[in-house]
Chain A
Amino acid sequence: MRNLLAALAGGLFGTGLLLSGMTDTKKVQGWLDVFGAWDPTLAFVMGGAILPMAVAWVLAKGRRPLLGGSFPERSAPKLGHNLVVGSVLFGMGWGLVGLCPGPALASLSFGGPPVWIFTLAMLGGMILAPAVRTRLDAATAAA
């Protein structure tokens, strides 16, 4: 049952990404291009996605997940260097080709070689990340 609902959630996520235009890299780059022909669509996508999610968080309060277990704890509001440096690096890659992890995976089947190359490199980056984190932590501790 857990796997079935996980697949359903993943499927809805992919469908939403496709419908909203998030898999269209030109559109995504258009949203980031405030000095060009700015495309506000992504603001609507974000707003639309946050709405049901906010309701879900309210519903989750004081309850347990339907399939058992417990809801993820709210992490301490710690704003470390990893959060900032990581987000900046991610944003640079996102701006360069207009792909972030969800839409890249959602368009794997029809995106062709550009999406495959990007996704493989992304997986490589994820493998490298722990080593980068160790160095970054060491450099920050030394500073």
Chain B
Amino acid sequence: MPVEWLYGLGGGLVIGLAGAVFLLANGRIMGASGIVGGLVDGTGAANRTERLAFLAGLIGFPMVIALLFGFVPPGNVTTSPALLIAAGLLVGVGTRLANGCTSGHGVCGISRLSLRGIVATVFYILAGGLTVVLFRHILGII
């Protein structure tokens, strides 16, 4: 649906603007998994408050928007706790091993033509696509 593409493009521009602010002002790469991961395993202790401030904005702004505009969240793909836990563990371990996720490798990496960012993005999109094929079309679980 073309209108959704426009929302996608507009939202994407705002995401890129966020990354540009974080880079040009704070000199930091906007990678969600890296910002959280550094807090979780202690490797980011040196700039703890900056990370927490970023997370406060990331969680807080959508909350305010949801409250102000009565945003109704779309239904989730799955509510199965087993699937959610398995997926969460995979995403947590995977993004920290690879040192980045969709925002760090995908947005910030590709935009500076980082080979690591491009390779990571190719692999996680391929793995995601194959997982959907296997679990939706072959096993019929999701």
Contact = CB atoms under 8 A, between A and B. Distances in A.
B45 interface: no
Q: Is the interface of A mostly helix, strand, loop or mixed?
A: helix
Contacts of B63: 108-110
A72 B102 CA distance: 18
Contact of A96 (B23, B111, B142): B142
A53 B107 contact: yes
Contact of B23 (A17, A50, A56, A126): A56
Q: Is the contact region of chain B dominated by helix, strand, or loop, or is it mixed? A: helix
Contacts of B99: 82-83, 86
Interface in A1-19: 2-19
B8 A17 contact: no
Contact of A118 (B20, B27, B84, B123): B84
Contacts, number: 477
Nearest to B27: A65
Given A46-B106, A90-B94, A96-B131, A55 B20 contact: yes
Interface size class of A (residues with CB under 8 A): 35 or more
Contact of B16 (A5, A52, A69): A52
B41 A129 contact: yes
Contacts of A62: none
Interface string B25-56: 11111101100110011000000011101111
B131 A125 contact: no
Contacts of B125: 32, 91
Contacts of A110: 62-63, 66, 71, 73
B52 to A, nearest CB: 8
B87 A96 contact: yes
A79 B116 contact: yes
A125 B89 contact: yes
Given A96-B135, A122-B89, A52 B20 contact: yes
Contact of A3 (B11, B50, B93): B50
Given A44-B8, A101-B95, A132-B93, A10 B54 contact: yes
A61 to B, nearest CB: 10
Interface of A: 2-27, 29, 32-36, 39-57, 59-60, 64-72, 74-75, 77-79, 82-102, 104-115, 117-130, 132-133, 136
Given A53-B111, A88-B127, A126-B41, 7 more contacts: A5-B22, A46-B106, A49-B15, A50-B107, A75-B116, A91-B126, A109-B62
18 contacts: A7-B60, A12-B14, A14-B61, A15-B18, A16-B13, A18-B11, A23-B73, A50-B107, A53-B16, A90-B98, A90-B101, A91-B125, A95-B130, A95-B135, A101-B32, A108-B63, A109-B59, A110-B62
